[in-house]
């Protein structure tokens, strides 16, 4: 049963402890140096990426509304080109509430390193400027290892700050390939509702209950802004009859669905604006979300993964051609595109 008892909520509240928040000036240098993500599979050799003629490295930015498959595409590209993923979702950046924030699981990462995922204290406000600094640092470390930075996440304000914010951090050092996974709103909204039900089945309500603090009244900071936490507040505070408790839970779940739908509309509108500025390549994944099982996987490969892989391959090869044309004749040119074979990727 999804609804925890009042006693269970009380016990969870009493036993749940969180690490002390870091200082107000956020600096993730040490976690980045330790390595916050899974190592690549030993059998997957890194490609050596050329710096283009304008002395810039290469980076890929994957955009899309919530639920459109950004994380899946980022992993597909990372496995194909030897990349590492930098999370740009402001809620997933915080530690905790793994199900509620729908963080990519260890299995879904498929051995691809993920940076800035679950690294900030739940109560800390991680600003766009904080993200710009830490994402720039992570991208520099990734390129220093000869790998491809892939920025993926739903917080377009973070991405915009990284690309065009103070100092134009990403544009100054990187040529960027922008990809947009789009799904028609009516189809996406139906999927979002099903996904919320699936997240509840995986323990969303119990997870929020375990982190619930009756003293908390502010859901505007840190991880507590995550859709699911504020919506369940009234339900978790209720100590009366079970009939009203069940009604509050049902209402909270409906609010989670409607707020997620509204979020996806805002995200899509923001991407449409950015697409006009950045030359974003849009791929339509609507048909994928109309299907189930193997048929959905086939549609994903055909309509999303393959076109995006081709786009990134062309993006990287163009850099190789330009760099080769500007190198001295005697210089050795290292291939920019060196994907692992299917057998190697499969392990």
124 belongs to a structural domain: no
More confident residue, 244 or 6: 244
pTM attached to this predicted model: 0.79
Q: How many of the other CB atoms lie within 10 Å of CB of 68?
A: 29
Contact in structure between 62 and 73 (CB atoms under 8 Å): yes
Q: Given pLDDT bands bounded at 50, 70 and 90, which one contains residue 345? A: very low
Q: Is residue 76 part of a domain?
A: no
- pLDDT tens digits for range 124-164: 999 999 999 999 999 999 999 999 999 999 999 999 999 99
Say how far apart CA 320 and CA 136 lie, in whole Å: 23
Rounded to whole angstroms, the Cα distance separating 194 from 187 reads 11
Q: Which long-range contacts (CB under 8 A, 24 or more apart) does 138-141 make?
A: 138/32, 138/86, 139/57, 139/59, 139/86, 139/170, 139/173, 139/174, 140/173, 141/32
Q: What per-residue confidence (pLDDT) applies to 318?
A: 72
End-to-end CA distance of the chain: give it in Å, rounded.
39
Residue 8 in this model has a pLDDT that exceeds 80? no
Task: Give the CA distances from residue 253 to residues 104, 185, 200, 216, 217, in Å, rounded to whole numbers and listed in that order.
Answer: 22, 20, 8, 20, 20
Within a domain: 221: yes
Decide if pLDDT at 109 tops 80. Answer: yes
| pLDDT of amino acid 319 | 57
Decide if 134 is inside a domain: no
Enumerate the β-bridge partners of residue 86: 115, 151
Indicate whether 236 belongs to any domain. Answer: yes
Q: What is the CATH number of the domain that holds 212?
A: 1.10.287.890
Domains contained in the chain, number: 1
- Tell me, what DSSP letter sits at residue 98? T
What pLDDT is recorded for position 47? 52
The region of weakest confidence among 8-22, 147-161, 179-193 is: 8-22
Length of the chain counted residue by residue: 347
- Distance (Å, rounded) from C-alpha 205 to C-alpha 316? 44
pLDDT at position 18 is: 36
Query: Does 11 have pLDDT greater than 80?
Result: no
Question: For 84-98, what is the mean pLDDT?
Answer: 97
Alpha carbons 208 and 121: distance in angstroms, whole number: 16
Query: Is the pLDDT assigned to residue 333 strictly greater than 70?
Result: no
* 3-class SS of residue 124: coil
What secondary structure letter does DSSP report for 94? B
Flag whether 77 is in a domain.
no
Three-class SS state of 284: strand
Residue 276 has pLDDT above 60, yes or no: yes
Tokens for 165, please give them: 């914010």
Report if residue 244 sits inside a domain. yes
Work out the average pLDDT over 292-299: 96
User: How confident is the model over 226-235, as pLDDT tens digits?
Assistant: 999 999 999 9
Q: Does some domain include residue 220?
A: yes
CB 263 within 8 A of CB 164: no
Domain limits for position 226: 189-259
């Amino acid at each position: 049963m999804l609804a925890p008892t009042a006693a269970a909520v009380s016990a969870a509240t009493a036993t749940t402890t969180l690490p002390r928040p870091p200082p107000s000036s956020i600096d993730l240098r040490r976690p980045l140096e330790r390595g916050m993500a899974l190592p690549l599979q030993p059998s997957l050799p890194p490609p050596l990426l050329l710096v283009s003629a304008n002395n810039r490295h290469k980076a890929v930015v994957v955009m899309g509304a919530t639920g459109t498959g950004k994380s899946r595409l980022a992993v597909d590209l990372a496995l194909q080109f030897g990349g590492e993923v930098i999370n740009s979702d402001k809620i997933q950046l915080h530690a905790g509430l793994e199900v509620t924030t729908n963080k990519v699981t260890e299995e879904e990462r498929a051995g691809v390193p993920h940076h800035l995922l679950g690294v900030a204290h739940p109560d800390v406000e991680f600003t766009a400027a904080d993200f710009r600094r830490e994402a720039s640092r992570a991208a520099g470390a990734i390129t220093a290892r000869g790998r491809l930075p892939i920025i993926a996440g739903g917080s377009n304000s973070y991405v915009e700050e990284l690309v065009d914010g103070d100092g134009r951090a990403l544009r100054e050092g990187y040529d960027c390939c922008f990809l947009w996974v789009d799904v028609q709103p009516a189809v996406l909204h139906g999927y979002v509702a099903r996904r919320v039900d699936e997240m509840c089945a995986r323990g969303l309500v119990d997870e929020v209950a375990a982190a619930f603090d009756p003293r908390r009244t502010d859901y505007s900071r840190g991880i507590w802004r995550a859709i699911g936490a504020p919506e369940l507040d009234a339900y978790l505070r209720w100590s009366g009859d079970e009939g009203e408790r069940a009604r509050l839970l049902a209402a909270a779940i409906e609010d989670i669905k409607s707020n997620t739908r509204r979020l996806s509309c805002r995200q899509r509108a923001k991407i449409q604006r950015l697409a006009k500025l950045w030359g974003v390549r849009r791929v339509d994944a609507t048909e994928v979300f109309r299907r189930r099982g193997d048929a959905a996987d086939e549609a994903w490969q055909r309509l999303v993964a393959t076109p995006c892989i081709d786009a990134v391959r062309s993006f990287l090869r163009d850099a190789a051609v330009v760099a080769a044309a500007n190198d001295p004749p005697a210089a050795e040119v290292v291939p920019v595109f060196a994907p692992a074979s299917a057998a190697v990727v499969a392990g």
